[in-house]
Amino acid sequence: MKARPVETKQALVEGFRRDSILRAARHVIGRQGIAGASMQAIADEAGVAKGTLYLYFRDRGDLVEQVASSILEDLLARVRAAIAGQRPLREAHREVVRTNLEFFDANQDFLRVYVDTREHERVPWHRRRRRPQYGEYLELLSFHFAAAVTRGEMKPLDPSRVALFFAEGLRGVLSRGSRSATAQPRRTWSGSWR
């Protein structure tokens, strides 16, 4: 049995500092948008010097991308938990949808700004760079649908195509909800007003 590598105190402190910078950036971007999220504003929110940010991130673009990646990693962990075990298709499917909606609601400010910015890039949608987390997300969903086919809960369809259809459909619902939320008071997916 291999012994787990022991993290040094310095590595723990650096990991904590990096995570606190990511959290600060998430809050600043959520409040001020990507255009208003200066490195100085993020440093102030994190309680560090502006130069400290450059020890962990190349530039503001790298920091924004790392924030998005950390948020998507959190979503992946939640979706894994939602489809874990041998739940019936409907129950697992309902849990995946609920997980996505609650996750989007909890991260609405950042994700709305991020999605709007990405959609307005002058790159056709089919040529935009897809995040590795999106591929993992599709693999999780594909596995989920393949298991349902094996159990006889679904007709024998291509699970990867069903996963793509499901993911893009849900993304469209969330994207449309985020656009309508900008013109009205913020509304949660459960229907209550904030």
Burial (0-12, 13-18, 19+ Cβ within 10 Å), 139: middle
**Superfamily, domain 61-183:** Tetracycline Repressor, domain 2 (1.10.357.10)
Q: What is the pTM of this model?
A: 0.69
Parts of the chain belonging to CATH 1.10.10.60: 9-57
Comparing C-alpha atoms, which of 102, 156, 76 is closest to residue 84? 76
Parts of the chain belonging to CATH 1.10.357.10: 61-183
pLDDT score of 46 more than 90: yes
Answer whether CATH 2.60.40.10 is correct for domain 9-57.
no
Sign of the alpha-carbon dihedral angle for 2, 16, 31, 125? negative
| pLDDT tens digits, 79-88 | 888 888 777 8
| pLDDT tens digits, 50-96 | 999 999 999 998 998 888 888 888 889 998 888 887 778 888 888 98
